[in-house]
Amino acid sequence: MSDGREDASGADEDEAADGQNGADSDDPAIAPEGLQYPEFVFGEGEIADDGSFELDADLDREELREWVEDLAGGLGSHDVAVESPDGYVTLGVAPEGVRMEFDPDESGVGEFEFTVEMRAKAMFVASDPDGEKVGARGGTGFVPIEMLTGEDGDAEEFRCYNWIDEPTDP
């Protein structure tokens, strides 16, 4: 069983070993039908110049279900974006773990908290969310096609977004 951590190439060790990334076990590429690039849009809050943020949203049952599904797709594609009225950031993500908490009152009712923890790297940061975006938008993604297909070059050079030095000027 995997501990969810990625190897140095950016692939989960078990995924890489058994080909569960949507491609043949000999091919490290993500199958096109597995690519998803979600954007999580918040109605208020700031995204700082370095891409940092602390945002929250009240979601109904259906909205939360959609966000969780989108997050799962983003984990598979290693790419998510966060937008607020005051900024935009695209993140390369890798799973770290999960934490759950439930503390009921005397009637058995309480808050259930489910926290997903990921390592992330800011790949693109913009102060204007209405401007040109790079990254997880419109399903087109940020990842170079060579990284996904293994064509036209060595896909390993693109792993973990190591080629991005300055997320405000990719």
DSSP per-residue codes, 44-78: S--B-TTS-B-------HHHHHHHHHHHHHHHHHT
Assess whether pLDDT exceeds 80 at residue 162. no
Q: What is the pLDDT of residue 87?
A: 92
Q: Rounded to an integer, what is the distance from CA 47 to the centroid of its chain?
A: 16
* Rounded average pLDDT over 40-65: 95
Residue 130, number of CB atoms within 10 A of its CB = 9
- CA nearest to 159, candidates 84, 79, 66, 57: 79
What's the CA gap between 80 and 74, in Å, rounded? Answer: 5
**pLDDT tens-place string over residues 82-109:** 999 989 998 888 889 999 999 999 999 9
Mean residue pLDDT of the chain comes to 74
Which residue did the predictor score with more confidence, 159 or 34?
34
Q: Give the CA-trace dihedral at 120, 122, 123, 126, to 10 degrees.
A: 150
Structure token digits, residue 118? 């990921």
Assess whether pLDDT exceeds 50 at residue 46. yes
Assess whether pLDDT exceeds 50 at residue 22. no
**pLDDT tens-place string over residues 113-157:** 999 999 888 888 888 777 766 654 444 455 555 555 555 555 454
Q: Structure pTM? A: 0.65
Answer for the pair 133, 124: CB distance below 8 angstroms, yes or no.
Answer: yes
User: Per-residue confidence at 5, pLDDT binned at 50, 70, 90?
Assistant: very low
Could you say which DSSP state residue 30 is in? Answer: P
Q: Provide the b/e sequence for 93-103 (b: ≥16 CB within 10 Å).
A: bbbeeeeeeee
